[in-house]
Every structure is written in structure tokens, then in C-alpha cells.
Structure 1
Amino acid sequence: MLDEGRVPVLDGHRGSGPGRGRASGRDRGPALEPRPGPAARPTRPYLPDDSTTALTPDQAFDALYAFCAPALVRQTYLLTGSRELARESVERAFQIAWQRWPEVARDRDPSSWVRATAYECALSPWQRLRPRYRHQEPPPPDALDRALLDTLLQLPPSYRRTLLLHDGVGLGLPETAAETEASTRAAVNRLVHARQAVAERLPELADPEVLHWRLVELASIERLRAAKPQVVRRGGERRARFWTRAAIAFTVALIGTTALTVRTAPTHYEPPVPQGETVQGVPPPVAPGPLSESERELRSKLREQPLKGPERLLPQPR
């Protein structure tokens, strides 16, 4: 389940390398192992029925987290320049991996799956809208570290990711192109332009090998710690339950709204009432005035003469 042949470059193992090319009397943090060459990689094929398949899902996830999370937090810090965002992106990537664990467990390289997800979370455009990450965190105390980190952050995200994967993590061009969802030609162009941008501001890092060690050292000076795997698993389960309940509540609300609409909607077509129009040529109504003398005489005459026809039926008092 875990690719034992690939050792993460940006991890916490001690070692030595070209580094800065300058003396430093203070502890710069643990150095990291160099990139393994083609001859150093074991050729043991991946076996689906390996002994790792005997692990429970919890144990396999914890093993993958312990193997990848510390180095992945340092890599994501170089990608974003934010310590909190790096930790949160890695935790979110592992939470997604836990929710989709059957798929991740069957992957030939689960660490690459989680790394790609963490990078996507860290470089998401939505992160810019969050007030928590609008303010920059304190930069590294060393001037050369600040210069390198500022240079990386000024690169376009795709160039920065390609440079980190190839010169920092140590992936080959085909693997880098596949993980960044680009063609090999596009990955080469991004890598060349990124190296040129770094060399223009920091000429001493024009050598890719020296740049690799400087990226390793820059990631090592930050004391970045990942959360416990149990905490990450519980957080992923809580998030999954929350979104499941939210989906159920939304579905119930949608069904209720639809039923109410069907219940109150009209069953036949009602034409709209046209707006009123002014009718021309009709005299305005006039209130009746007092009767004239002739009209009063006529009224008296009608009242005095007997009515012709059948007599009126009048109710008789008891």
C-alpha cells in the first residue's frame, strides 16, 4: 500500500549537502537526505497481496500519514508561504483520502495522490477570500531564506508547483507533468522559466543541484508539525457527517418546497385582467336636483288615483 521505494526528499532525516555555500554558526535545523538516483531506487515490483494488505484501514491510514505528512507540510509551506495554510491543506487532503480510502488504498502511489490533493487545496483561489490568510505571516529570520521564499511566491502557481516537484521533491519530468496535469513540453517550459526567474534574483542558485539543497534547507528550518492521524481521521468523519446531514436537510427542504408549490399552484389558465381604459363621449353622472312644480303635481296625482289591476295583498294583523 505504501511505496517503500520512494523516500521523501523534504523530510526530517539528518544528512549533509551543498546547502548554501556559506558558513552559519547557528543550528539551521536537521538537513535532509539527497534525492535518490535511478540506481538507488529498488526494483521490487508492487504486489497487491503485500503484507501491508493485512493492516486494518485505520492502521494503513496512520502509516501513510506518518510516512507523508511531515514532509508534505514542509513542501506545502514552500508552495504557499503560510504555515497555517500548509498544515490545514495537508490535513484536508488526508481527510479527503480517508473519506475515499478504498480508492486511495488501491492506488499504486498513495503518497502522490495525497500530495496532489494537498497542493490543490493550498493553491485554491478560494483561499484568497478567507480573512484568515489575507495577512502574511512573519517571514523567515534569515535574509537569504526570505529572498528565496519571496522569489518562489512571486512565481505563477503552476511554475512554483512544477519547480517544487522537480527540483524540491525530486520527481522526474513525466511524473511532474502527470501530477500537474500538463504535457511534458509544458512542464519543461514551466521548469525552465521558473529556474530563470530564480537565477535572475538569486544568481547563486542557478545550479539546479544547489537550488535543490536550498529548498530542502528552507523547508527544514521551519518547525512545522502535523496533527495526529487520529485527530485527522475524526475531523474527516465529522466533516463527512456534517455534509451528509446538510445534504439530507437540503433535500427535505427541496421536496417540501416542491410539494407546497404543487399544492398551491393554479390548475387552469387564468387570463390576465386588462388595465382599465377611459371611455370617451359618456356624460358624467349628475345627482338629481329638487323637483319642479309640474313634477310635484304629477307625483300627487299618481298617489291619489287608484291603481288599475288586481288589488295588493296586504298582511292582516292577528
Structure 2
Amino acid sequence: MTRSTTDEAAAPQLPSPKERRRLREAKSLSEEQVAAAVGVTRATVRSWETGRTSPRGRKRALYAKLIAPGPKGPTTTPSAVVAVAPAPPEPLPAPPPEPAPEARATVAAQAEAESAAEDKRASTAEIAAEDKRASTAEIAAEDKRASTAEIAAEDRKEGGAEGGAEAVGERRLSPAEAFDELYARTAPALVRQAYLLTGRRALARESVERAFQLAWHRWPEVAVDRDPAGWVRAAAYEYAMSPWHRLRRAHRHPDAPPTEPGKRALFDALLDLPPAYRRTLLLYDGVGLDLPETAAETEASTPAAAGRLMTARAAVAERLPELAAAPSPAEQSALLHDRLGGLARAEHVPVPQPARAVRTGSEDKARLWTRAAIAGVALLIAVTGLTLHTAPTHYEPPIAPAERVGGVPPRGGPQQLTIQDLQLQKSLREQLAHGPERLVPQLR
């Protein structure tokens, strides 16, 4: 992520923006060719040549090599110089006052010889110019190859945070060797970046290890990515900034801040920023990405990323007076870059596990999840088979148990006579009615 002050001082000096464009055009290099060689976009190269931004780190060294002025002329051997060197011009004879008729043939021959010498000089100059262009293109290509090899060697030595797994020499690396190479170059710097992002040392180490485990699990996809280090960095940032970590007791509170007042103020200012603003500031001023790359990694538009960056810088400048006193945004960015690097190097960030342990952990975790999935599927199949075996083939309605039924209404019909009704009936039968005698029918 960051580089020491000695490395910043040893960085190659670049000419002015107008001179950069002139040198590029003098070498017949287009913006697309320079962008492809350095590993950036065409807009980034245009911003370097207009003075809006300036390259840093390995991109600065590679860009300086590409636009470095070449030799004045073609590099040739002495014999080649003798072969292509133009013949010295011969002094023209003084014109005779009046050539004689017999000397006209001699004058014509001399004119023909002079014409041949002039043609020879013109063709020699064209050959020299063509050799110069060819040698300039060869020198540019050689400088590009040499600078690329030097930067790759420097990145392998310093453990820089950029670049993917590259072949060492001409031997083709195996997947495990390429992963180990990427891990050795990027893991230490990523742990420091995750610490600045979260303020928790244990969570920073866990985030980087989980990101590399995921990268090894998806290595066929990561190996062909344009920026494998950026892929792993994005995965580590996403895991480190997950809001679910606040529910874990070990990561509920950040670690103790630094004791030095300046580093403590920067540490507190970073943790007070919203996560998206903190990530944008770290990527642009800490890692050294340009604005379009920062916007792409944070999944935001370029104007939104620029607004977040300016807001984050203003919030940090309130805690750091020297940052607010910087005369220009470029100097402010350089000062913040140094302060972030000093804060990350001053703290004792834990060293991540070896690459072999990370690969083994990823494989063990994948094996465990595979076995768990197989066991779950087997259990589901067993339960389904048992259910099908014990289920009835037809429906038998159950017999309801006997129970006492209440609330049934009484039967209809004549009711049983009560005592009063019986007494009334008896009295009516015993007493004669006071009226005409009843007619008794008689048979005839």
C-alpha cells in the first residue's frame, strides 16, 4: 500500500506535463500504447500529460522509462558508419568563360557525375533517417522490456501491493506457485491497509486470509483477471467492512489508538469517517489508484468518488493542521500518503499465515462444505424414502368414539298427566253434568 520516505526520494523525476507529451510523440507512441504498457487507462495518461495528476510508485518508474529521451542518433558499428556515411561534397570547378565545342562533351559528363553524386547523397540521407527511426523504435521496445523486468523484480523484492501472479523467468508457474507469488507480494501490504480501514489488527489479518482463501477457491477466475491483486483487495475490503462484525465480541470495539498525538489524530479521523468515504480515501491517497479506478472499485461514479474524496480530506484536515496548510491538492495528497504509510508501519500489525497454510485452509473448508452438502442431501433422501415406505396407500376414515349427547329436545305427542290433571279427570267422571241428559244411542 505505502512506501517509505527513502523509496519516495529515489523515485525518478518526471519532466513537465508538456514535455511528457512531446517526448511521447517524439517516440511515435500513442496514448493507447503508453496506457497498455503501464497498465492504466487512456484517460489516466491524458491526465498525466495535462498536469491534473502524476504517476506514483511502479507506474511512475515505468512511465519514466517509456518517455525517457533516447540517443541522438542510431547506434551502429564503425563499418556500418563507413558504409552509410555520405561522400564528402566535391568542390565544383569554376565555370569556364566560354567552353569550346570540343569541351562540351566533358562538361556534360561532369554534370552527369554531379547528378549521380547528389542522388547518392539523397539516398544515403534517407537510409540514415530510416535507420534512425528503426533504432529509436528498437531502443523504446528494449527500454520497455528492461523497465518492465526491473519493476517486476522490485515488486517481488519489496512485496508491493499491485500486480498479479507473473511468470518468473521463462519457466511457467504452476497454480500453487503463482498463488504463493501473489500472496507473498500483496498479503503484508493488504493487512496494513485493512488495519487502517477497520482499526482492528485481528480483523485485518482475518480479512486478508479469508480473501486469499476465496481467491484460491476461485483461482481459475482470479488467474485470468486483469488485476489479481485488485480482486483480492476488493474481497478483503468487503469482508473487513461487513457490518456483521459488530455483533462479534472480539471485534465489537477497535484496538487501542497509537500513543503519538499526530498518529492518534489521524487514526481517530479515519475511524470517524463513513466506511465508503474511508475506503475511497485509502484507495486514492494510500494505495495510489487514480480516480476512475477508485470509483470502479468502490462501485460508484467518478463524480461521486471525487466528492467522497474531497469530503474525507476536509474531515481529516480538521484534525491535522499541516494537511490543511498544504498549498495544493497534489501536495496535500502526497502528505496524506506519507502519513498513512507512517501510521501503518508504526503499528505492530500481525503477519499473515504462510501461503501454504492459507491454501490448505481453503481446501479444507471447501472439503468440509462439500461433505456437509453431501450429508444433507443423503439425509433428505433417507427421510423421503422412509416417509414413502411408511405412508398408507389408501385413506381409512377414523371411527369416532361414543359420547353422551346433550341438549336433545323432548319427544312430541301427548304429555303425561300430572296429579292435578288426574284429579280433574276423576271429578269430571264422577259428577253428572247439570244439563239435558245425554242421548244414548240404541241399536234397532
Q: TM-score, normalised by structure 1?
A: 0.71
Deviations 1:180-213 (A, max 9, x none): 1111122112112111211223232232221111
Aligned Cα root-mean-square deviation (Å): 3.1
Matches of 2:397 and 2:322 in 1, distance apart?
81
CA deviation map 1:40-84 (0-9, x unaligned): 3356699x9x74570011111111011101111111100000111
Which of 363, 367, 372 is the aligned partner of 1:241? 367
Contact 1:10 1:72 survives alignment (8 Å): no
Q: Percent identity between the aligned chains?
A: 58
Q: CA separation of 1:267/1:109 partners in 2, compared to 1, >3 Å: closer, same or farther?
A: same
- SS across alignment from 1:192: helix
Q: CA separation in 2, counterparts of 1:73 and 1:198?
A: 22
The runs of 5 or more residues in structure 2 that have no matched partner are 10-54, 67-143, 149-163, 325-331, 412-444
C-alpha contact (below 8 Å) 1:167/1:212 kept by paired residues: yes
Larger Rg: 2
TM-score w.r.t. the length of structure 2 is 0.52
Task: Please give the alpha-carbon distance, in whole angstroms, between the structure 1 residues aligned to 2:224 and 2:58.
Answer: 26
Q: 1 CA distance for matches of 2:186 and 2:224?
A: 17
C-alpha distance in structure 1 between counterparts of 2:245 and 2:194, whole Å: 14
- Give the superposition deviation at 1:144: 1.6
1:103-142 → structure 2 map (5 Å cutoff): 103-142=221-260
Q: How does 1:153-232 map to 2 (within 5 A)?
A: 153-206=271-324, 207-224=332-349, 225-232=351-358
State the AA in 2 paired with 1:10: T
How far residue 278 of structure 1 moved from its aligned partner, in angstroms, is: 4.7
CA separation in 1, counterparts of 2:387 and 2:5?
64
Between 1:37-46 and 1:232-241, the stretch displaced more is 37-46
How many residues align? The count is 257
8 Å CA contact retained: 2:280, 2:294: yes
Aligned residue for 1:187, secondary structure, equals helix
More helix by percentage: 2
Match for residue 2 of structure 2? 10
1:36 aligns with 2:154: no
Distance in 1, Cα, partners of 2:306 & 2:388? 59
Q: Within the alignment, does 1:281 sit opposite 2:273 as a pair?
A: no
- How far did residue 269 of structure 1 move? 6.8
For the residues of structure 1 that align with 2:299 and 2:275, how far apart are their CA atoms? 13
Asked if the contact 1:104–1:110 (Cα under 8 Å) also holds between the matched residues in 2, the reply is yes
Q: Distance in 2 between matches of 1:126 and 1:11?
A: 32
The amino acid that maps onto 1:142 is E
Q: Go from structure 1 to structure 2 and tell me whether the alpha carbon gap of 1:66 and 1:267 turns closer, same or farther (over 3 Å shift).
A: same
8 Å CA contact retained: 2:270, 2:278? yes
Distance 2:198 2:218 in 1: 25
Change (3 A) 1:271 1:196: farther
